[in-house]
Amino acid sequence: MQVNQPPTEAATPEWRLSGAPVPYLQAVAEMEERAAGIAAGRANELVWLLEHPPLYTAGTSAKAADLLDPDFLPVFRTGRGGQYTYHGPGQRLAYVMLDLRRHGLSARDFARGLEEWAIRVLAAFHVAGERRTGRVGIWVPDRDDPQREAKIAAIGVRVTRGVTYHGLSINLDPDLGHYKGINPCGLAQDAKLGVTSLATLGVRATMRDLDAALMETFDEVFPA
């Protein structure tokens, strides 16, 4: 099931929710088409909430050595920033297509805004997400070892003709074992870093709950 909010002048951005996992290349093609439409002034901005089937993506900074098991899951090269990451069921992706010129934002401002958005969403579930200097994404203390930190939200952005796409992922309850085929975002280089999810932290929430928090906090960070 896919739910679209009809575009109107007052409804900026449009919101789209895809119920079934969306194949990665299909999502990229749709984002590219929408971003081109936004840049040309013939389409509304869009926030697309979705999941993917289990897969890895390699960003523009991905290193071959960080693909630990090339045969474990499908791997897709992508134009977003960042290194290797995992996507799959139980992880909410928020692909955000905004005209940076309209909002008076730089690409760096936008990336910071995505991080702030994730922090506010996590706060709705009483989870204190934090930034870390030199590390992209949002981090929380490891539930089992306070000396370790774990990434719960990832950021990956591309900007074309002043319009953003790709965006934010938040781990609700994905299979964290699927991360074993990659060194996600270079984390394996530091034994004190890992990945986690809201479910691992003991948060009992549904994807609908997470979507509601995403929708409720978006305008706080990216006002129309």
Please state, in angstroms and as integers, the Cα–Cα distance from residue 208 to each residue in 23, 153, 186, 204, 215, following that order. 21, 17, 31, 12, 11
Lowest average pLDDT, out of 25-39, 93-107, 129-143, 182-196, goes to 182-196
For the segment 189-210, the average pLDDT, to the nearest whole number, is: 88
Lowest average pLDDT, out of 47-61, 126-140, 142-156, 174-188, goes to 174-188
State the CB neighbour count (10 A cutoff) for residue 163. Answer: 24
Question: What percent of the chain is modeled with pLDDT above 70?
Answer: 92
Give the pLDDT band of residue 4 (cuts 50, 70, 90). Answer: very low
Contact assessment for residue 115 and residue 64, using Cβ atoms and an 8 Å cutoff: no
Question: 208: domain range?
Answer: 2-221
Lowest average pLDDT, out of 53-57, 91-95, 135-139, 154-158, goes to 135-139
For the cut 70, the answer to whether the pLDDT of residue 185 exceeds it is: no
For the segment 170-181, the average pLDDT, to the nearest whole number, is: 95
CB proximity list for 30: less than 8 A, separation 6 or greater: 48
Cα angle 76, 93, 65 (rounded to 5 degrees) comes to 35
Query: In this predicted model, what pLDDT tens digit does every residue of 59-106 receive, in sequence order?
Result: 888 888 889 999 999 999 998 888 889 999 999 999 999 999 999 999
More confident residue, 37 or 8: 37
Contact assessment for residue 192 and residue 66, using Cβ atoms and an 8 Å cutoff: no
Q: Across all residues in the chain, what is the average pLDDT? A: 90
Lowest average pLDDT, out of 75-89, 150-164, 202-216, goes to 75-89
Q: What DSSP line would sit under the chain, residue for residue?
A: -EEEPPP-SS--SEEEEE-SPPPHHHHHHHHHHHHHHHHTTSS--EEEEE---SEEEE-TT--GGGBS-TTTS-EEE-SSSSSEEEE-TTEEEEEEE-BHHHHT--HHHHHHHHHHHHHHHHHTTT---EEETTEEEEEEE-SS-TTSEEEEEEEEEEEETTEEEEEEEEESS--GGGGGGB-GGGGGGSTTEEE--TTTTT----HHHHHHHHHHHHHHHS--
Catalytically active residues are 185
Contact assessment for residue 139 and residue 131, using Cβ atoms and an 8 Å cutoff: yes
Contact assessment for residue 81 and residue 60, using Cβ atoms and an 8 Å cutoff: yes
Q: How many whole angstroms separate alpha carbon 58 and alpha carbon 67?
A: 9
For the cut 90, the answer to whether the pLDDT of residue 146 exceeds it is: no
Count structural domains, the chain.
1
Please state the pTM of the whole predicted model. Answer: 0.91
More confident residue, 189 or 112: 112
Output the six-digit token pair for 2.
């896919």
Single-letter residue type at 109: D
Domain CATH number, residue 161: 3.30.930.10
More confident residue, 147 or 43: 43
